[in-house]
Amino acid sequence: MIYVVGIGSGGGDTMTIEAVEAIKSCDVIVGYPKYVDLIRNLTAHKKIFTSGMTRETDRCNMALSEARDYGKNVALISGGDAGVYGMAGLMLELAEGSGVEVRIIPGVTAANSCAAILGAPLMNDYVVVSLSDRLTEWSVIEKRLTAACWGDFVVCIYNPVSSLRPNHLRRACDVLLTVKDPETPSGFVRNAGRNDESHEVMTLKRLRDFGGLDMFCTVIVGNSQSYIVDGKIITRRGYKL
């Protein structure tokens, strides 16, 4: 059995009971080093395999080998939710026809944890877009951002900036600003749920020129019904007050 376990976006506080029990039941833990470190309290006496960024296929193949060839119960660890830019899809694809059962254990994705920190910005329809163009061409990302604007969706942005993509968030904001008001409530959260968590609420116009964001940040841009009160972003659902 392979459990693909989403451990939430924090340091373990957002893990579900189901995720904890799945990890406890396994003989082998496979994951990205940073995520495995976050669950060290659950890994005693277990065999552990880790590998770095861009080695996702290697991790899935290792999990499959341990389950298929050695009959082990394996926890493949994924940050946030395993089905949201995580390991679930790849593991299911590689396990096809192997006879190994794969079970997906959901986790709290960054969109949810960061929305709670910023207020209630996802109260109405929203989309999630990653700015990483390692697996998706920028032209496709730009098309999706444009469509989200015309649909007046709240936009949650994953992977906004990296050392190899220092200007992607600015480019994304330029796309959003073709339709969205420059004063649209926006914000970011860094290291959600961890000891060094930080966040800030601002306008879309200010977000465009705001420096210092990185891969540990998640950005949320409101829609025409979003507003700021007491430092929190609220997107109206339409209830009569």
- pLDDT at position 238 over 90: no
pLDDT score of 11: 67
Model confidence, pTM: 0.94
Q: Tell me: the pLDDT tens digits for 108-131?
A: 999 999 999 999 999 999 999 999
CA–CA distance, 108 with 66 (Å, rounded to integer): 27
Q: Copy the structure tokens of residue 117.
A: 């920190």
Q: Pick from 59, 97, 84: which is nearest to 8 by CA?
A: 84
- pLDDT at position 12 over 80: no
Percent above pLDDT 70 for the chain: 100
pLDDT score of 241: 82
Q: Is the dihedral of CA 163, 165, 170, 172 positive or negative?
A: negative
pLDDT score of 211: 85
Q: Are 21 and 94 in contact (CB under 8 A)?
A: no
Q: Tell me: the pLDDT tens digits for 49-79?
A: 999 988 999 999 999 999 999 999 999 999 9
Higher pLDDT, 195 or 180: 180
String of DSSP letters for 13-39: TT--HHHHHHHHT-SEEEE-HHHHHHT
pLDDT score of 53: 87
pLDDT score of 14: 83
Q: Copy the structure tokens of residue 97.
A: 């026809």
| Three-class SS of 175-227 | HHCCCCCCCCEEEEEECCCCCCCEEEEEEHHHHHCCCCCCCCEEEEECCCCEE
Question: What is the set of domains in the chain, with CATH numbers?
Answer: 2-105 (3.40.1010.10), 110-235 (3.30.950.10)
